[in-house]
């Protein structure tokens, strides 16, 4: 046993001696002392250095840029206190069917985040409607970090604008809504908001273009290259005076799953925002113009049937009695080719222009009628159907939204991006309950394009409009079935009396 231990320690000693011998030999070859194997030295030697104490240019050499830099900072300091962060929470209800075909409701918690801007001393905030849509709780955080709950005063889904009121004591610092009619392509603008939840972010750019369209409803927008990212929605686009010239609404991003800025953002002009703001504050709702016609798009078959060979315009299918269109002399089979001097490319474009027209304005219509071009004058009226709906809602408590959908038995889906690129608009009816109230008038594969003449953008938009109407009144559904466009009327469900 002792002999084995002696042999082991002898081998270990030989290995250690060999290791240090080889290390010392390599150090000697590299010009270093072999003793450093046992007594290593710090190889770092302090370097001598001299840092410059003067910039390459004096401020006097770049006086213009220096003043511009100070003015940018001063502008930012003046604007940022009016920009707020908006956090939302709510419960979304989804109707599903189990394997036996029974309807079930699933409640899902939702959260959202966006931006807004204070526009009155009383604490009214303008933001995008899509920021707060369907949310039950709204929290606003100010520049100084204070948070307050907020109340929804009114919203305009057509323009994508909502007006909130901060439930707290001021003072609040508002920004002025500027005149967007004076905005020019190429002018400098700043986008302010809370992208990705980061507070008080300011980006600079220019107005890249005007009168841009990103959907049949969202038209005449400003395009800007000031960076806008998720979370910027609802924040202001300001000019060099700190005036609001637009409300940031959307970005162009080819990656829909991970949207990010690609140099193209869109903002709603401040004049449109100001008009809707005043209407909501004064009446609690937006006031939209009304024409009173049922339209359909032109295709080759329709053009051939009526003998019309132009590309622009849309066909009048029906004219409602005593409506502005009827009083102006519009007739079925007319083709509206211009509205207030602007060419008409689709019925959705026409309805959007009508809804944005001031009530009482007299507008010229250029119309093709049986081979002749005539000009009519139409005086735009208020959409009384929307006003009546609001009055009834104030007088009665409607049924629960999911109860209404179940009773009518209509399920729809939005069109995909590919389907929209092929010209499909509205929503597709996927299921109709044969026991539902709509079974005799709505069919699977119908394309619903409007509710009460208000265009439908997606499934959420359809359910929102349909539930609000069907709970209290007869509801007009404009749809396309095969190659035929028609309007059906669904009778209302009796509302529950207020307790």
Domain with CATH 2.30.42.10 in the chain: 289-382, 384-490
Q: How confident is residue 45, by pLDDT bands cut at 50, 70 and 90?
A: confident
Cis peptide upstream of residue 171 (ω within 30 degrees of 0):
yes
Spatial neighbors of 334 by CB under 8 A, at least 6 apart, are 315, 316, 367, 368, 369
Domain with CATH 2.40.10.10 in the chain: 80-166, 180-283
Contact call for residues 192 and 201 (beta carbons, < 8 A): yes
Comparison of pLDDT for 253 and 482, the residue scoring more: 482
Contact call for residues 164 and 132 (beta carbons, < 8 A): yes
- Cα(248)–Cα(270) distance, integer angstroms: 10
pLDDT at 177 over 90: yes
Name beta bridge partners: 166: 150
Three-class DSSP category at 23: helix
CATH architecture assignment, domain 289-382: Roll (2.30)
- Cα(267)–Cα(247) distance, integer angstroms: 5
Comparison of pLDDT for 482 and 54, the residue scoring more: 54
Spatial neighbors of 153 by CB under 8 A, at least 6 apart, are 124, 163, 164, 165, 280, 281, 284
For 80-166, the fitting CATH number among 2.40.10.10, 3.40.50.920, 2.30.31.10, 3.40.50.720 is 2.40.10.10
For 203-210, which contacts have Cβ atoms below 8 Å and span 24 or more sequence positions?
A: 203/227, 203/228, 204/72, 207/183, 208/264, 209/185, 210/183, 210/185
Q: Could you write out the DSSP letters of every residue in 242-308?
A: S-EEEEEEEE--S-SSS----S-EEEEEHHHHHHHHHHHHHHSS---EE--EEEE---HHHHHHHT-
pTM of the entire predicted model: 0.62
Phi, psi of 68 (to 5 degrees): -60, -40
**Average pLDDT rounded to a whole number, residues 324-352:** 86
Instruction: Write out the two tokens for 392.
Output: 């009834």
For 180-283, the fitting CATH number among 3.30.70.520, 2.60.40.420, 2.40.128.120, 2.40.10.10 is 2.40.10.10
Contact call for residues 396 and 301 (beta carbons, < 8 A): no
Contact call for residues 348 and 455 (beta carbons, < 8 A): yes
Q: What does R_g of the chain's alpha carbons equal in angstroms?
A: 33
**H-helix segments, 152-217:** none
pLDDT at 103 over 60: no
Q: How confident is residue 48, by pLDDT bands cut at 50, 70 and 90?
A: confident
Model pLDDT, residue 397: 43
Catalytic site residues?
130, 160, 233
Name beta bridge partners: 127: 162
Model pLDDT, residue 145: 86
Spatial neighbors of 372 by CB under 8 A, at least 6 apart, are none
Three-class DSSP category at 137: strand
Q: Could you write out the DSSP letters of every residue in 371-416?
A: TEEEEEEEE-EE-HHHHHHHHHHHHSBPPPHHHHHHHHTEEEEEPP
Q: pLDDT tens for residues 412-430?
A: 888 877 777 677 888 999 8
Mean pLDDT, the chain, whole residue set: 79
Cα torsion 54, 56, 61, 65 to 10°: value is -100
CATH topology of domain 384-490: Pdz3 Domain (2.30.42)
Q: pLDDT tens for residues 368-388?
A: 998 899 999 999 888 655 444
Of 54-58, 63-67, 495-499, the one with minimum mean pLDDT is 495-499
**Average pLDDT rounded to a whole number, residues 5-14:** 73
Tell which phi-psi region holds residue 313, choosing left (phi > 0), alpha (psi between -120 and 50) or beta: left
């Amino acid at each position: 046993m002792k002999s084995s231990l002696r042999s082991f320690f002898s081998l270990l000693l030989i290995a250690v001696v060999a290791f240090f011998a080889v290390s010392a030999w390599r150090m000697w070859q590299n010009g270093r002392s072999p003793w450093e194997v046992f007594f290593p030295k710090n190889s770092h030697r302090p370097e001598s250095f001299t840092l410059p104490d003067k910039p390459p240019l004096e401020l006097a050499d770049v006086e213009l840029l220096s003043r511009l830099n100070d003015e940018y900072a001063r502008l930012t300091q003046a604007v940022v206190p009016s920009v707020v962060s908006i956090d939302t929470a709510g419960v979304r209800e989804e109707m599903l069917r189990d394997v036996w075909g029974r309807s079930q409701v699933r409640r899902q918690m939702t959260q959202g985040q966006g931006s807004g801007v204070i526009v009155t001393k009383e604490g009214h905030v303008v933001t995008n409607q899509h920021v707060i849509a369907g949310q039950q709780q709204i929290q606003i955080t100010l520049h100084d970090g204070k948070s307050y709950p907020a109340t929804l005063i009114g919203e305009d889904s057509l323009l994508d604008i909502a007006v909130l009121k901060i439930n707290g004591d001021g003072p609040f610092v508002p920004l002025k809504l500027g005149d967007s009619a004076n905005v020019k392509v190429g002018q400098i603008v700043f986008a302010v908001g809370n992208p990705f939840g980061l507070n008080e972010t300011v980006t600079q750019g220019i107005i890249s273009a005007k009168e841009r369209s990103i959907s049949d409803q969202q038209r005449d927008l400003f395009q800007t290259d000031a960076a806008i990212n998720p979370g910027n929605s609802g924040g202001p686009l300001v000019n060099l005076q700190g005036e609001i010239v637009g409300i940031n609404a959307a970005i162009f991003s080819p990656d829909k799953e991970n949207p990010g800025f690609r140099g193209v953002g869109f903002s709603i002009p401040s004049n449109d925002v100001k008009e809707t703001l005043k209407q909501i504050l004064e009446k609690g709702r937006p006031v939209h113009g009304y024409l009173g016609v049922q339209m359909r798009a032109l295709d080759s078959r329709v053009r051939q049937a009526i003998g019309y060979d132009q590309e622009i315009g849309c066909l009048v299918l029906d004219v409602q009695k005593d409506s502005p269109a009827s009083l102006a002399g519009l007739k079925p089979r007319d083709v509206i080719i211009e509205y207030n001097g602007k060419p008409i490319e689709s019925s959705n474009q026409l309805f959007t222009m009508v809804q944005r027209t001031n009530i009482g304005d007299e507008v010229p219509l250029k119309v093709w009628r049986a081979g002749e071009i005539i000009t009519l004058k139409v005086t735009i009226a208020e959409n009384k159907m929307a006003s009546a709906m609001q009055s009834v809602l104030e007088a009665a408590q409607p049924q629960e939204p999911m109860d209404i959908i179940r009773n009518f038995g209509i399920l729809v889906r939005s069109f995909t991006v590919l389907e929209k690129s092929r010209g499909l608009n509205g929503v597709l009816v996927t299921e109709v309950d044969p026991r539902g109230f709509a079974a005799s008038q709505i069919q699977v594969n119908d394309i619903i394009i409007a509710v009460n003449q208000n265009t439908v953008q997606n499934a959420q938009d359809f359910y929102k409009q349909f539930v609000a109407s069907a709970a209290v009144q007869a509801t007009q559904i404009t749809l396309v079935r095969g190659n035929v466009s028609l309007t059906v009327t669904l009778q209302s469900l009796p509302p529950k009396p207020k307790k």
